[in-house]
Structure 1
Amino acid sequence: MSGTVQVTGIGVVAPNGLGVKEYWNATLEGRGGISRLTRFDASGYAASLAGQILDFDPAEHLPNRLLPQTDISTQLALAAADWALTDGLVNPGELVDYDLGVITASGSGGFDFTHREFDNLWSRGREFVSVYESFAWFYAANTGQISIKNGLRGPGAALVAEQAGGLDALGHARRTIGLGTPLVVSGGVDSALDPWGWSAHLSSGRISRGTDPARAYLPFDAAADGHVPAEGGAFLVLEQAPAARTGGAGQVYGEITGYASTFDPPPGSPRPPGLRRAAELALADAGLAPGDIGVVFADAAGSADLDLAEARAISGLFGPHAVPVAAPKALIGRLGAGGGPLDVVTALLTLRDGAIPAVPGGYEVPPEYGIDLVRGAPRSTDADAALVLARGRWGFNSALVVQAVRGG
């Protein structure tokens, strides 16, 4: 058992809001962040909608020295980590540097940066390739840059499991705290909205071809035909419960009490997908029964076969229509490794404020799915615990349980 850890700080970079307050207000109000892709001319591609962060200027948030050496994904990660540390009243200079860890997830690394430098190599010559290409592309760049910028010299790691990786990072951070590190900054951010990244997204065969931002990504809807790629994510400050840092935390958003990961069997196997097993293991790790969970934040793939598989996992574990299911990604798209941490943030805010965010109105959930998808308007809840699910391409499954701290 890794024990319980508390979330004492949060930083969010999302297509529908920068910062916790902006993101949460937009999500409760049903304001989305999906729009026509503007990073390049996507008119000749099969899909043209993305969840873009349009109001982020890295020069306003980061030192000038970091701008030429970082990809947009790392710039977003650095800003989110800074906001999480500020939100948690963490001043690394006042703490023991080796007691502070950084564990991140990335599904694509510095996609835009590295392919821009490849273009320089092929079109202009090797002398035009940035020296920072040696590390800016790397999946661990976010861990390294956050660590260096903030003087966090404790345990560090980077996990790569696409959409599931963000929950894996938080699970690994929880384990790291259980092994004695007092505080870990953890989460994930992805961004791959350049021409090369866009081609990689399209190669999955699961990207929506829709042109209406309000109807292109419809997880669990009868008309679902794929997802919309997005950028962004979230970082969280995690501490051993109860948080006993000198000076104290500013607040406690909740606790991470359970985590598990599984892997799907190979195609053609008679064994079922591993998502339900991940959920069962996470509940067991938290010491909870299915009836203790007040809301499930779904992976919400937006493809009929994957949606049906997830719906069966949820209804099989909890019973048909027995637990509210939230899919806030419908408003902003799928964020790769950033999606799981952002869903964890949303789950914590749901427990804090007693409001489950809804997918837009007009949804038609097939009866055979057997799930209670929250639609149209936020739903009031007195839930004390939430389950967050995530799946990555090639068979990764992760599940994480968060609980409110009542009276704390």
Structure 2
Amino acid sequence: MTAAVVTGLGVTAPNGLGTEEFWKATLAGESGLGPVTRFDAAQYPSRIAGEVTGYAAEEHIPSRLMPQTDHMTRLALTAADWALADAGIDTGELPEYGIGVVTSASGGAVEFGQRELQNLWSKGKEYVSAYQSFAWFYAVNTGQISIRHKLRGPSGVLLTEQAGGIDAIGHARRHIRKGFPAVIAGGVDAAICPWGWVPQIASGLMSTVDDPARAYLPFAAEASGYVPGEGGAILLLEDAESAAGRGAEHIYGEIAGYAAT
């Protein structure tokens, strides 16, 4: 049976940009939660989030992509770039349809959508970007990653809330077991704006605690709900034989099994 191994990692997280910084903070128990700064959340009952800080999109994203991408997609593109670089893989050396992309997102690029709808309401339809036709869509991360790197293998997108990133890895493993040499997979979200905030509050599941150290206590008796975060992780999964054949620099581990209910 074909084995699926992880050869590349890319992380854009509230507690660390890049795998090394993220893992160092994780081992030290450093949280990425804090008061919302991306918009004025004073009027809302929930005011704590996990924001990716220190990220300058212009340093990572080509200028031609800036007008057509949301904060969420820029984080996803950056993480994918890092995963491919970490794996040391030359996508041009693999078959044209050899690498697929499977990502997950819970809501889509809502910040982009909110801005364009505000333009529609306040200025008129001629002020709405043509990119609104796809930039808001929850599948846009998969699309933009595949276009940027010319990856024409099997692609897909999943909407399974907090389990989405793991589900994407499980689906990527299925493609590798079908004979494809590599798949980019993971989950990246960014819904920290009023349009993304209000529906989450309406669910009644968000924490309303203002202390970042106490807002999210998932395994404690005093747990009060979840705290939204942005960012995520992208992995490069490869067929073990293919990875060995190209001399992959490192193998982080094998995706030995996957199941969901």
Q: Which residue of 2 aligns with 1:212?
A: 211
Q: Which residue of 2 aligns with 1:293?
A: none
CA shift at 1:144, angstroms? 0.7
Aligned counterparts, 1:211-250, within 5 A: 211-244=210-243, 247-250=246-249
CA shift at 1:247, angstroms? 3.2
Q: Which residue of 2 aligns with 1:178?
A: 177
Answer whether contact 1:6 1:242 (CA < 8 A) is retained: no
CA shift at 1:243, angstroms? 3.9
Distance in 1 between the 2:78 and 2:243 partners?
A: 26
Q: Alpha-carbon deviations, 1:94-149, whole Å to 9, x = none?
A: 32231111111111111111111111111110000000001101111111100010
Aligned counterparts, 1:251-270, within 5 A: 251-262=250-261
Answer whether contact 1:3 1:174 (CA < 8 A) is retained: no
Q: Alpha-carbon deviations, 1:344-372, whole Å to 9, x = none?
A: xxxxxxxxxxxxxxxxxxxxxxxxxxxxx
Distance in 2 between the 1:81 and 1:39 partners?
A: 24
Distance in 2 between the 1:162 and 1:209 partners?
A: 20
Q: Alpha-carbon deviations, 1:13-62, whole Å to 9, x = none?
A: 10000111100000111111111101111101001110000111110001
Q: Any idea what SS the aligned residue of 2:197 has? A: helix
Q: Which residue of 1 aligns with 2:198?
A: 199
Report 1 or 2 for greater relative contact order, CA contacts < 8 Å, sequence distance ≥ 6: 2
Q: Any idea what SS the aligned residue of 2:6 has? A: strand
Q: Any idea what SS the aligned residue of 1:242 has? A: helix
Structure exhibiting the larger radius of gyration computed from Cα positions: 1
The TM-score with structure 2 as length reference comes to 0.97
Q: Which residue of 1 aligns with 2:36?
A: 37
Aligned counterparts, 1:358-373, within 5 A: none
Distance in 2 between the 1:50 and 1:143 partners?
A: 25
CA shift at 1:245, angstroms? 5.8
Q: Which residue of 1 aligns with 2:57?
A: 58
The reply on whether 1:83 has 2:82 as its aligned counterpart is yes
Distance in 2 between the 1:169 and 1:30 partners?
A: 26
Give the fraction of aligned pairs with identical amino acids, expressed as a percent.
56
The change in CA–CA distance for 1:3 and 1:246 in structure 2 (over 3 A counts) is closer
Answer whether contact 1:34 1:52 (CA < 8 A) is retained: yes
Distance in 2 between the 1:246 and 1:91 partners?
A: 13
The TM-score with structure 1 as length reference comes to 0.63
Distance in 2 between the 1:75 and 1:28 partners?
A: 26
Distance in 2 between the 1:91 and 1:63 partners?
A: 20
Q: Which residue of 1 aligns with 2:94?
A: 95
Q: Any idea what SS the aligned residue of 1:217 has? A: coil
Distance in 2 between the 1:105 and 1:245 partners?
A: 28
Structure 2 runs not aligned, ≥5 long = none
Distance in 2 between the 1:248 and 1:154 partners?
A: 22
Q: Which residue of 2 aligns with 1:401?
A: none
CA shift at 1:206, angstroms? 1.1
Distance in 2 between the 1:18 and 1:189 partners?
A: 13
Q: Any idea what SS the aligned residue of 2:172 has? A: helix
The change in CA–CA distance for 1:3 and 1:200 in structure 2 (over 3 A counts) is farther
Distance in 2 between the 1:254 and 1:38 partners?
A: 37
Q: Any idea what SS the aligned residue of 1:26 has? A: helix
Q: Alpha-carbon deviations, 1:367-391, whole Å to 9, x = none?
A: xxxxxxxxxxxxxxxxxxxxxxxxx
Which range moved further: 11-20 or 97-106? 97-106
CA shift at 1:244, angstroms? 3.5
CA shift at 1:190, angstroms? 0.6
Distance in 2 between the 1:9 and 1:195 partners?
A: 34
Answer whether contact 1:6 1:243 (CA < 8 A) is retained: no
Distance in 1 between the 2:180 and 2:242 partners?
A: 12
Q: Which residue of 1 aligns with 2:21?
A: 22
The change in CA–CA distance for 1:27 and 1:244 in structure 2 (over 3 A counts) is closer
Q: Any idea what SS the aligned residue of 1:205 has? A: coil
Aligned counterparts, 1:95-174, within 5 A: 95-174=94-173
Structure 1 runs not aligned, ≥5 long = 263-408
**Matched AA of 1:174:** R
CA shift at 1:246, angstroms? 5.0
Q: Any idea what SS the aligned residue of 1:260 has? A: coil
Q: Any idea what SS the aligned residue of 1:55 has? A: coil
**Matched AA of 1:42:** A
Q: Which residue of 2 aligns with 1:47?
A: 46
**Matched AA of 1:228:** V
Q: Any idea what SS the aligned residue of 2:101 has? A: strand
CA shift at 1:67, angstroms? 0.7
